[in-house]
Every structure is written in C-alpha cells, then in structure tokens.
Structure 1
C-alpha cells in the first residue's frame, strides 16, 4: 500500500476499570477488572496498521512510565514515531470506567501529548495519496490547536484529512472547529457528537446538517450496533452493522475510524469502506480492552 496515515492526535495510557455500575457522587465501587494499556490515538493507529496501512505518529509524548508504555506499544504495531520524547512531563492518562452494560465513561489527565508545537510539524510533508488524521482533543489544547491550524493550509490539497471531533466537540473553540470543517475530507463522529455540534438528535438529519457545513468533505456518523450513515456525493446511505455479543464498547469508534481509513487508502469506495469499518468495530467489541481491532485476515474471514 503506497499511502500512509499521518496521525496528529494524542496517544495516552488508559487506566481501564470494569465496574458493576458507576458510583454515586461521593460514593465508591470495587472494580471487577483493571487494566493499564495505551489508548487514545493509539487505538486508531493500531486499527489502521493491522489492516496493512503504514502509520506515522506525529504527536508529542513524554518521559516516564506512561511514555515508555505508549512507545513500546506503538513500536509493537510497526508504527513510526516521528518526535523525540519530551524531557518532561510524562504522557497523560485516561481513567476509563466500563459498566456492566459495556458503556464507558472517561476522565482525562493531559500530559506531554498536549504540548505539540508548530515547530514539531514544520518538516511534515504528507504525500498526495496520504491521509492525515486530526482529533478534536488536539484542538482543546492551545499549543496543539495552534500547531494543527498552522499545518492545515500547508497541506497538499490532494491529501485526505480525516477528522474525528471526539466527545468534547462542543468545547472546541468555534473558529478552530470551522477551520477544520472547511478543510476536512471526512468528518467521522458518533451520533451523540453529531447532535452536540448540530443540535439535531436525529442522526440522519444531523449528518445532512454537517454535510452542509463542510467546505469540501463528506460525513460519516456512527450509529452503534445499527452501523453508520455515510453522506457522500450528495447522497445519504445507511450502512448496516453486524450483530455480535458485545463485551466492551471501549475503542469501538477508534477501531471503526482506523479500519475506514485503511479501506479508503486501499481504494474502496466510501460505502464499501464503511461496511468494512462496521465489521471491524463489531469484532472489536467482542473482546475486553480498548485496542481490540482485528487484523486484515480476521476481518476478511468475518466478512466472507
């Protein structure tokens, strides 16, 4: 595959705690399982790399046990790390509570990944066939936001920019969000995030509203077990999901986005790429943990 994915998001370490239910305010609950694992942007990159797409991580990372764990995981997936570790602080972490229904709730403690600068991206030159991935989390941090918004106008117009706005999309400064909407080739989000940015609860109508705000791109709205909606070429298509026994929903959206980008890079049309991404997300939720996206062989077998 000649294309490459340049990931401009944030790799963190997930502290995953499985709990019977979320504690009440001021309360406590005993976790039934605990795991420390690289997460955040790592999940997307791992999903794409397992499909055979070459991946480079262009984000910042820190010095300390969390940074060491994140770099080891990136190398294990064959992902290039472009920047040297920051001397301080360590990479940040996310406390992820997974309840008995598989739903997840996050609290994020930022670290070195929130210190990206314009200078870090000066030499970044994605090719015309490449994909650049931007996450809304990056736009929440002032330094990262400046670096990302400085980079966008310098990109070759042929580069495919994929944006995942994330669950805090409504906290992104308006001007930054509009700049990203103007340059994104794909705006990939879940139904909740689509509702937050448009004020429309119906996913199909929200997808249409998002499409009208994009300067040049298309929209993908994930709708959970139902699959996703793709608005491309003036047409809205519902792409059905796959029925599986879900164990852990954590990382499902990341798996979907990573597989979708790899499928686009392989030349699949957007609807076919979305179907493959639906299958990848379905397989991902059948195992505990955030980075459970399948490799290409397993995904092919599932689809066949």
Structure 2
C-alpha cells in the first residue's frame, strides 16, 4: 500500500477499570478487573496498521513511564513516531470506567500530548494519496489547535483529511470547527456527536446536515450495532452492521475509523469501505480492551 496515514491526534495511556456500576457521588466501588494500556489515538492507528496501512504518529509524547509505555506499543504495531519525546511532562492518561453493560465513562488527565506546536509540523509534507487524521481532542488544547490549523493551508489538495470530532465535539471552538469543515474530505463521528454538532436528533438528518456544511467532503455517522450512514454530498446510504455478542464497547469507534481509512487507501469505494469498517468494529467489541481491532486476515475471513 503506497499511501500513508499521518495521525495528528493524541496518544495517552488508558487506566481501565471494569466496575459493576458507576459509583454514586461520594461513594466507592471495587473494580472487577484493571488494565493499563495505550489508548486515545493509538487505537485508531493500530486498527489502520493491522490492515496494512503504513502509519506515522505525528503528535507529541512525553518522558516517563506513560510515554515509554505508549512508544513501546506504537513500535510493536509497526507505527513510526515522527517527534522526539518531550523532556517533560510525561504522556497523559485516561481513567476509563467500563460498567456491566459494556458502556464506558472517561476522565482525562492531559500531558505532553497536549503540547503540540506549529514548529513540530513545519516540515510535515504528506504526499499525494496520503491521509491525515485530526481529532477533536487535539483541538481543545490551545497549542495543538494552533499547530493543526497552521498545517491545514499547507496540505496538498490530493491529501485526504479525515476529521473525527470526538465526544467533546460541542466544545471545539467555532473558528476551528468551520476551518475543518471547509477542508475535510471525511467527517467521521457517532450519532451522539452528530447531534451535538447539528442540533438534529435523527442520525440520518444529522448526517445530511453535516454534509451540507462540508466544503468538499463527505460525512460518515456511526450508529452503533446498526452500522453507519454515509453521505457523499448527493446521497445518503445506510450501511448495515453485523450482529455479534458485544463484550466491551471501548474502542469500537476507533476501530471503525482506522479500518475505514485503510479501506479507502486500498481503493475501496466509500460504501464498501464503510461495510468493512462496520465488520472491523463488530469484531473489536467481541474482546475486552480498547485496541482490539482485527488484522486484515481475520477481517477478510469474517467477511467471507
């Protein structure tokens, strides 16, 4: 595969705790399982890399045990790291609570990944056919947002920009949101995030509303087990999901996005790429952990 994915999001370390239920305010609960694992943008990159797409992490990372853990995981997946570690602080972490229904609740403590600067990306020149991925989390930090918006005008028109606004979509500053809507080739989000951005509850209508705001791109709205909706600016296509026994929903959206980008890089049309992404997300939720996207061989076998 000649294309490359340049990931401009944030890699953190997830401190995962499985609990019977979320504790009430001021109370306590015993976790039934705990795990320390790289998360955030790592999940998207791992999903894409396992499909054979070359990946470079172009975000910031720190010095300390969390930074070491994140870099080791990136190297294990064959993901290149563009920048040297920040001398301080360490990479940040996320406390992820997973309840008995598989739903996840996050609390994030930012670290070095929130210190990306324009100077870090001044030599970044993605080639024609490459993909650049931006996430809403990065847009919440002043330094990261300035660096990402500085990069946008330098992107070659043949570079595919994929934006995932993330759960905090409503907190993205309006000027950044509009600039990304104008340049993005794909706007990928879940139904909740689409509703936050459009004030439209129905996912199909929200997808249409998002597509109408995109200057040159298409919208993809994930609808959980039902699959996703793809709007290419002219038509809306519902791409059905796959029925599986879900164990852990953590990372399902990341798996979907990573597989979708790899499928686009392989030359699949958007609907076929979305179907493959639906299958990747379905397989990802059948195992515990955030970075459980399948490799290409397992995904091919599932689809066959």
Please give the per-residue CA displacement for 1:151-177, whole angstroms capped at 9, x wherever unaligned. Answer: 000000110000000000100111011
3-state SS of paired residue (2:239): strand
Does the alignment pair 1:67 with 2:67? Answer: yes
Runs of 4+ in structure 1 deviating by more than 3 angstroms, as ranges, are: none
Does the alignment pair 1:88 with 2:88? Answer: yes
Q: 2:217–2:233: 8 Å Cα contact kept in structure 1? A: no
3-state SS of paired residue (2:298): helix
Please give the per-residue CA displacement for 1:95-118, whole angstroms capped at 9, x wherever unaligned. Answer: 000000000000000000000000
Please give the per-residue CA displacement for 1:197-247, whole angstroms capped at 9, x wherever unaligned. Answer: 101110000000000101100000000000000001410000000000000
Give the Å deviation of 1:27.
1.0
Q: 2:5–2:53: 8 Å Cα contact kept in structure 1? A: yes
3-state SS of paired residue (1:62): coil
Q: 2:9–2:135: 8 Å Cα contact kept in structure 1? A: yes
Does the alignment pair 1:109 with 2:143? Answer: no
What TM-score comes out, normalization by structure 2 length? 1.00
After TM superposition, the structure 1 = structure 2 runs for residues 1-304 of structure 1, keeping only pairs within 5 Å, are 1-304=1-304
Cα distance between partner residues in 2 of 1:194 and 1:30 = 34
Please give the per-residue CA displacement for 1:50-71, whole angstroms capped at 9, x wherever unaligned. Answer: 0000000000000000000000
Cα distance between partner residues in 1 of 2:125 and 2:281 = 30
What TM-score comes out, normalization by structure 1 length? 1.00
Aligned length: 304
Give the Å deviation of 1:289.
0.2
Cα distance between partner residues in 2 of 1:181 and 1:46 = 26
3-state SS of paired residue (2:187): strand
3-state SS of paired residue (1:294): coil
Larger deviation, residues 233-242 vs 292-301 = 233-242
Structure 1: 5+ residue stretches without partners:
none
Cα distance between partner residues in 2 of 1:197 and 1:23 = 30
Give the aligned CA root-mean-square deviation in angstroms: 0.4
Structure 2: 5+ residue stretches without partners:
none
Cα distance between partner residues in 1 of 2:197 and 2:25 = 28
Cα distance between partner residues in 1 of 2:283 and 2:216 = 32
Cα distance between partner residues in 2 of 1:113 and 1:272 = 34
Cα distance between partner residues in 2 of 1:176 and 1:269 = 29
Cα distance between partner residues in 2 of 1:131 and 1:298 = 24
Cα distance between partner residues in 2 of 1:255 and 1:25 = 32
